[in-house]
Homo-oligomer: A and B are copies of this chain.
Amino acid sequence: LRYDKSHKVETRRRVVEAAGRRFRRNGIEATGVAELMADAGLTHGGFYGHFPSKEALVEEAVAECVERNYQLFAGRVAQARKEGLDPIEVVLHAYFSTVYRDLVEDGCTYAALAQEIARHPPKTREGFSEGVTRMFTLVAGLLPQSWSEDRRQQTATAMFSMAVGALQLARAVHDPKVSEQILEAGLSSALALARG
């Protein structure tokens, strides 16, 4: 044996992470294998020692982005609770903000990839779908306990859809004023939905 096995595992992890960032920033199709290997400090040839194809990496990178998003969110919720704040308010303010709008490469996986994912093979879409339903459930858990399970799930789903749509439109629009109005409108309506 040459390197200890952790070496290759670590390199692979670095490639997946670099891919996740690039995919969110520039899109999956627009990101070349050579480009993301360079991000990980490697040359393109080594790629196929880690993955059988670009699509295999896409699948893994999407799953990693989804997981990372979930952890980030769950972390914020836990911290809000520790500080005695309403988690749903903290989370919504974080989401519908110019900071999150501009944080593309480390930002929301769903706003960044939803459109492109729809044209990828089922396996890739499965990881994405699982992430979506987990987010729905996480948000539903932050809504009033007095509501029925169904109502919470439904409201959470709608709120999350609104968050994804608002982030995307806020990014697409060229007038910064309109962009901010989209975020503000989304925030206040999402808060209204959360309060019933």
Contact = CB atoms under 8 A, between A and B. Distances in A.
Nearest to A150: B185
Contacts of A190: 158
Given A129-B175, A178-B129, A161 B169 contact: yes
A167 to B, nearest CB: 8
A119 B116 CA distance: 13
Contacts of A162: 158, 161-162, 165, 189
The SS class assigned to the A binding surface is: helix
Given A114-B115, A114-B168, A129 B161 contact: no
One complex includes copies of this chain to the number of 2
A133 interface: yes
Given A154-B189, A193-B189, A161 B174 contact: no
B172 A186 contact: no
Give the contact-size bracket for chain A: 35 or more
A92 to B, nearest CB: 12
B157 A185 contact: yes
Contacts of A133: 178
Nearest to A115: B115
B115 A116 contact: yes
Contacts of A168: 114-115, 118, 164-165, 168
A61 to B, nearest CB: 15
16 contacts: A111-B115, A112-B115, A113-B172, A114-B165, A114-B168, A115-B115, A115-B116, A122-B174, A125-B172, A125-B173, A129-B175, A132-B178, A153-B185, A161-B185, A161-B186, A193-B193
